[in-house]
Structure 1
Amino acid sequence: MSTQPLFLIVDDYDQMRRVLVSNLKTLGYTNMITASNGEDAIRKLNANPVNVILSDWNMPQMTGLELLEWVRKDKKYRFTPFIMITAEIERQQVEKAIAAGVSDFILKPFSSGTLSEKIRKNLQKTPVKTPIPTVKPQESEASPFDAPVSADVEIKVDTTLTILAVDDVPDNLTLISSLLENDYRVKVASNGQKAIKICQSADKPNLVLLDVMMPDMDGFDVIKELKANEETSDIPVIFFTAMDEPDSIIKGLEAGAVDYVTKPIKPTVLKARVGNFLRYHRGYEELKNTLDTMMENAKLRDDVEHIVRHDMKSPLAAIIGTINSVGKNESITQEQLKTIEDLSYTLLNMVNLSTDLYKIETGRFQLNAKPVDIVRLTEKVAEEIRLGFSTKNIKINTKIQVAGELFAFGDELLSYSMLHNLIKNAAEAAPAGSAVFITVDSGENIKVSIRNLGVVPESIRDNFFDKFVTVGKRGGTGLGTYSARLIAEAQNGSISMSTSEDSGTTVEVTLPRATV
């Protein structure tokens, strides 16, 4: 009998199912069945002992989220790893999946390494044991955080987690503290008002153990106030109730409590319930952090695409301008052919540039520095901008302070993108009929200064190079200067900006000088 896990792959796109099957085989897994939609998946789940579910999100008939909800209601698959595969990251929808019990997410497109890591992590997780209730009133279900009660219950110690115990009886607070203080940080409150104040503090607890029966403000009032406040609504609550009060159990769970413990408190039961819930809660928080990382990475990719699209407009405009010039003269020179060829290669390289920008943003970029002819590169970009801004009557004046060739130590494509963004931004900001002045100078380092007669609004001067900073610029993304800063710093250089009514705006880039 095979010890390999059985995977169920659910996707309405046949090619995607084939890709997943192929990837799993490459990773050494051999047992797989597939389903083309959620209803087909349920039939397969009823007929086969599935160990891992990989499901697409957007499917006809039954979505991945609806399938997840069905799976978590089925006792057999309540704790089976369910990995959602999606190309769309929308926080509200993903939070619904987390609340429904999703185990993990994979964002399309993904690598086999990502798939392997997600599967390995979820297969290694210790499944929560089948609930064994300590008390089971007919009107309520057993706690999902129960565990077999014995003297040797193993609870993972984590003194970074804080538990708040709330009870008006001092002896109960003493008992709870003595049971838990070696495993967690324990705070106590003798009434509901103190409990709420602690929950609203900067050091709010990870879990509240709350007595229901208290004078002045009972446990139900405390839960109600906690859930009504956005700052405290996500703090989980386990409440204490008498064994013969099933109505209190139902009322507490309906009010938002995650679990209950009956009085008199049994030490092994309390430790097991707390330990099991916090183990679940840690997994939940890890999943939320994974979601945040996924959303940020997806956003980074979108930003990079914006940058590249932004940069590609001028080379395209220059190509079109050259072709139009050829059409009017009904002839083409070798120089014009060379211009079109160079610009076409520039566009191709800019597609490749997107990978480098993404790596810079995520801290994974490694610079392979080489001498870059900064004079030739600056004049090339200036000529492209001239063609693109001819209708605005903007002059692009370059002044090279050093005779002969001048080489920076960096990456030519990154330097091109940086200069292109900065010179194009200067041309856009320059008043019609004015000029952009570009100066290339050298000392210990190379300095490229780009000046226009426009003035940067005061509201964005302090964060001029930050992401998404733009004002009064139609269609502006706020990514051009941001990507220029990234690129300058990735090449061990720097960038600065000064602006005034008298002299206009100057952006100065400093790059290491190469010895050739």
Structure 2
Amino acid sequence: MITTKAVATTPIVKHDQRPTLLVVDDTPDNLNLIAGLFMHDYQVRVAQDGHKALAICTSDTPPDLLLLDVMMPNMDGFELVRHLRGHPRASRIPIIFITAMTDPASRRQGLELGAVNFVTKPIDPELLQLRVNNQLRHVERHKQLQTDYNGLLALAHLRDDIEQFARDDLKAPLVSILGLVRALLEDGNLLRGQQGVLRLLEQNSSQLLNLLTVSGELCETDVEHFQLQPMQAQIVPMLRRLVEIARLSFKGKDVPLALQDDAADTRLTDREDGLRHFSQLDELLQHCGDAAAIGSRVSIAV
């Protein structure tokens, strides 16, 4: 017998991602008029005095934009702004003053306190909407820039963690491997073929250890003062070493690997170092070995 049981599900709460406006005015009619202009496009909060507005602006969820009357009892708009500018959560809230004051001294005082705009009462609804929309677009761009910046910081920290892992957690085992290989090479009871394999393992491990060391040095370099210098890399000796190493992995697929280096000692001039050339060529050879069909032939001509 199969029975079913209803499982209670928790409804998914969708948070309102719209920007938040705080309208501050001691006159209820003005509050209703201004809030009604924006309630369909933004989250709108209201306050009838400076003390309530101060509490909202310094809370954990401050508004994105403040529409503020100047002439209010107990705490006027200018005094409220002075308090906001001294608080870490509220110091950067953009402010548009909505006031009946038209004298230049009042406007100058508001601008000195950091207001982004003035709107004169009685308000022109269309003009106020344009100014609010423009300012909130600027706010959203600033938020996006901050998000991008935080993402870059996170990537930088991740890169540092990876580099630290490469330098510290990988180098110690490599040093142990090198020590073991060299101890085995000092043993005179090895066959000639075994010695050859250990020599190649020693060279490869040493090369990887050098790459990790260089990588760590590059990460610690001040990139603002780092200048790349062209260097010459001897490609033929480098290829000979790589071919010796690669032949071991090619043997399992019966794929001959030939190097034609009849030319003189060829040099490359590039904005890289020899270690990086070695790494890139080694990766290229490994790809050739993986892609080559059984019985085919891989040839390198210089």
- What's the TM-score, normalizing by structure 1? 0.34
Q: CA deviation at 1:320?
A: 5.0
SS of structure 2 residue aligned to 1:306: helix
Deviations, residues 452-474 of structure 1 (Å, cap 9, x unaligned): xxxxxxxxxxxxxxxxxxxxxxx
**Aligned twin of 1:254:** 112
Is 1:226 paired with 2:84? yes
**Aligned twin of 2:151:** 293
Q: CA deviation at 1:298?
A: 1.8
SS of structure 2 residue aligned to 1:172: helix
Aligned match for 1:176, one of 14, 19, 34: 34
Q: CA deviation at 1:335?
A: 4.5
Larger relative strand fraction: 1
Amino acid at match of 2:118: Y
Unaligned runs of 5+ residues in structure 1 are 1-157, 355-516
Aligned match for 1:278, one of 93, 115, 136: 136
Amino acid at match of 1:160: R
Aligned match for 2:197, one of 306, 317, 338: 338
Cα distance in 2 for partners of 1:177, 1:213 equals 19
SS of structure 2 residue aligned to 1:168: coil
**Aligned twin of 1:241:** 99
Q: CA deviation at 1:343?
A: 5.8
Tell me: CA distance 1:324–1:247, structure 2 relative to 1, closer, same or farther (3 Å).
same
Superposition pairs of residues 25-174 of structure 1, within 5 angstroms: 160-174=18-32
Tell me: CA distance 1:210–1:261, structure 2 relative to 1, closer, same or farther (3 Å).
same
**Aligned twin of 1:95:** none
SS of structure 2 residue aligned to 1:165: strand
Cα distance in 2 for partners of 1:198, 1:315 equals 57
8 Å Cα contact 1:208/1:235 also seen in 2: yes
Is 1:215 paired with 2:73? yes
Q: CA deviation at 1:342?
A: 3.5
Q: CA deviation at 1:224?
A: 1.3
8 Å Cα contact 1:315/1:343 also seen in 2: no
- What's the TM-score, normalizing by structure 2? 0.56
Aligned match for 1:303, one of 161, 167, 170: 161
Deviations, residues 83-136 of structure 1 (Å, cap 9, x unaligned): xxxxxxxxxxxxxxxxxxxxxxxxxxxxxxxxxxxxxxxxxxxxxxxxxxxxxx
Cα distance in 2 for partners of 1:193, 1:171 equals 20
Higher relative contact order (CA 8 A, sep 6+): 2
SS of structure 1 residue aligned to 2:170: helix
Amino acid at match of 1:162: T
Is 1:186 paired with 2:38? no
Tell me: CA distance 1:261–1:351, structure 2 relative to 1, closer, same or farther (3 Å).
farther
**Aligned twin of 2:284:** none
Cα distance in 2 for partners of 1:219, 1:312 equals 62
Amino acid at match of 2:23: A
Cα distance in 2 for partners of 1:164, 1:170 equals 14
Amino acid at match of 2:200: E
Cα distance in 2 for partners of 1:194, 1:273 equals 25
**Aligned twin of 1:419:** none
- Identity among equivalent positions (%) equals 42
Q: CA deviation at 1:165?
A: 0.3
- Could you say what the CA RMSD is over the residues aligned between the two structures, in angstroms? 3.2
Amino acid at match of 1:289: T
Superposition pairs of residues 453-464 of structure 1, within 5 angstroms: none
SS of structure 2 residue aligned to 1:292: helix
**Aligned twin of 2:54:** 196
SS of structure 2 residue aligned to 1:186: strand
Cα distance in 2 for partners of 1:306, 1:299 equals 10
Q: CA deviation at 1:351?
A: 7.0
Cα distance in 2 for partners of 1:218, 1:196 equals 11
Cα distance in 1 for partners of 2:71, 2:202 equals 77
8 Å Cα contact 1:241/1:248 also seen in 2: no
Q: CA deviation at 1:282?
A: 0.7
Q: CA deviation at 1:349?
A: 10
Tell me: CA distance 1:218–1:236, structure 2 relative to 1, closer, same or farther (3 Å).
same
Tell me: CA distance 1:255–1:275, structure 2 relative to 1, closer, same or farther (3 Å).
same
Q: CA deviation at 1:217?
A: 0.7
**Aligned twin of 2:236:** none
Q: CA deviation at 1:159?
A: 7.0
Deviations, residues 469-505 of structure 1 (Å, cap 9, x unaligned): xxxxxxxxxxxxxxxxxxxxxxxxxxxxxxxxxxxxx
Superposition pairs of residues 412-431 of structure 1, within 5 angstroms: none
Is 1:265 paired with 2:84? no
Cα distance in 1 for partners of 2:210, 2:143 equals 38
Q: CA deviation at 1:256?
A: 2.1
Tell me: CA distance 1:323–1:350, structure 2 relative to 1, closer, same or farther (3 Å).
closer
Cα distance in 2 for partners of 1:318, 1:335 equals 19
Tell me: CA distance 1:343–1:323, structure 2 relative to 1, closer, same or farther (3 Å).
closer
8 Å Cα contact 1:192/1:222 also seen in 2: yes
Larger relative helix fraction: 2
Superposition pairs of residues 427-466 of structure 1, within 5 angstroms: none
8 Å Cα contact 1:159/1:183 also seen in 2: no
Amino acid at match of 1:208: L
